[in-house]
Amino acid sequence: MCETCGCGNPGEKAIIRVPGEDLKNQEDNLHGHYHSHPHSHDHHKEFEHDHEHDHPGISRKIVTVETDILLANNLMAERNRGLFEAKNLTVINLMSSPGSGKTTLLERTINELKEKIKFSVIEGDQQTMNDAERIKVTGVPVIQVNTGNGCHLDAEMINRAIKRLAPEDGSFVLIENVGNLVCPSLFDLGETCRVVVMSVTEGEDKPLKYPNMFRSVTLCILNKIDLLPYLDYDVSKAVEFGRRVNPRLQFIELSAKTGEGMGAWYEWLRGRLNGPG
Amino acid sequence: MHELSIVLSIIEIVAMEAKKSGAERVTEVHLEIGQLSGVEFDSLEFALKNFAPGSVIESAEISIEKPGGTARCCNCGYEFSIENFIGSCNLCSSFNLEIIKGRELSVKSITID
């Protein structure tokens, strides 16, 4: 861990800002971390070994800990959940591999529903404001979380982001997680619902390859179905594989580009207003 | 590589417990990480090597218990061991399984001087 400032949690390095905002003017951003972190230790223990050490004259004591490694995140997620409940927010955590069309899905959803439903968006990416800039064009409040080296959003980042975003009571908050089918699945953000987006240009066996993710969600959106005529993709196989790892998994097939199938997604979204469902 | 976050959380938990117990040194850390927890053990090893130096676990031996997966069939109640989430019930072939073991992710104990 960093000796200079005591940092260490990748979550603390996340930069949170709205489009157009200058980094220098942002106190929330915990000093940006431009100093280097040299570690010149050449000794470290092997991962697992079973030899005993004796330390004569020193009293050794075994302390029972029994603490969940994700406890800090889970506690923060519960705080978020309380905040969301108090403000009557419906918070959707959208996850997928990069390039599945999450941002396009959000753009169309917001543009077609914003007259009826209040939205705000939290965008998660390692770098750039690109996605937040795209959402900004729709006119709804958006905030970008740049995780730096982090491969996922965590509950602490969402806690900081939601306070700056200050969404209206009773509104929807759409979280676009970092494009990654592995890491985000483990981190509870306090969300109302988790959704995975899979596109038909990926393999049908994605659920089998990333079962942790597909087990953790309630809905799988199958995007880019306008491309089906040009592909060998077998939708029924994808659904079968998805239900093998998660028998309760719901599927919605749509094209965020052409708008086909979006109605079912909107209906699902409206259904979430009364809780996870 | 969420294993980086996992290791940083481990260090945080150990540091807190060591401080509470007035430890001068942590000599052992005992972890329980299930084989269905979503943690890649090679990545965890890499992250430990990178983050241990300079931290409270610098001179600690890390031992990891790796419980395998056990599922209970929600249809017929049969319990059996599984290696991944893809299996179906050995008795009734249902895919509706509840994972009852293998997702552990905890710091069990530390040994201190």
State the best of B20, B25, B31, B61 to mutate against chain A, taking most chain A CBs within 10 Å: B61
pLDDT one-digit tens code per residue, A31-76: 443 334 444 444 444 444 444 555 455 678 999 999 999 999 999 9
Tell me how far apart the alpha carbons of residues A253 and A13 are, in angstroms, rounded to a whole number: 37
Say if residues A16 and A157 touch (Cβ distance below 8 Å).
yes
Q: Residue A2's pLDDT is what?
A: 34
Q: Residue A274's pLDDT is what?
A: 61
pLDDT one-digit tens code per residue, A146-195: 998 888 999 999 999 999 999 999 999 999 999 999 999 999 999 999 99
Question: Could B2 and A49 be called an inter-chain contact, meaning their C-beta atoms sit closer than 8 Å?
Answer: no
H or E segment to which residue B9 belongs: helix B3-20
Say yes or no: ipTM exceeds 0.85: yes
The dihedral through the CA atoms of A53, A55, A61, A65 has a sign that is negative
Nearest CA in chain A to B42: A47
By Cβ distance, the residue of B17, B50, B51 closest to A63 is: B17
Residue range(s) defining the domain that contains residue B35 = 3-112
Nearest C-alpha neighbor of B107 from the set B20, B15, B22:
B15
Nearest C-alpha neighbor of A240 from the set B108, B6, B95, B92:
B95
Q: Residue A276's pLDDT is what?
A: 63
Q: Does B2 touch chain A (CB under 8 A)?
A: yes
Which residues in chain B touch residue A9, judged by CB atoms under 8 angstroms apart? 5, 8-9, 12
Give the count of domains, chain B: 1
Q: Does B92 touch chain A (CB under 8 A)?
A: no
- Looking at residue A50, its amino acid is D
* Average confidence score pLDDT of chain A: 86
Nearest C-alpha neighbor of A205 from the set B3, B67, B111, B86:
B86
State the best of B1, B2, B44 to mutate against chain A, taking most chain A CBs within 10 Å: B2
Domain extents in chain A: 71-274
What is the CATH number for B56?
3.30.2320.80
Question: Could B112 and A61 be called an inter-chain contact, meaning their C-beta atoms sit closer than 8 Å?
Answer: yes
Residue ranges in chain B whose pLDDT is less than 50: none
Encoding tokens for residue B80? 């059996």
Average pLDDT over residues A120-135: 94
Fold of the A71-274 domain: Rossmann fold (3.40.50)
To the nearest whole percent, how much of chain A has pLDDT over 90?
75
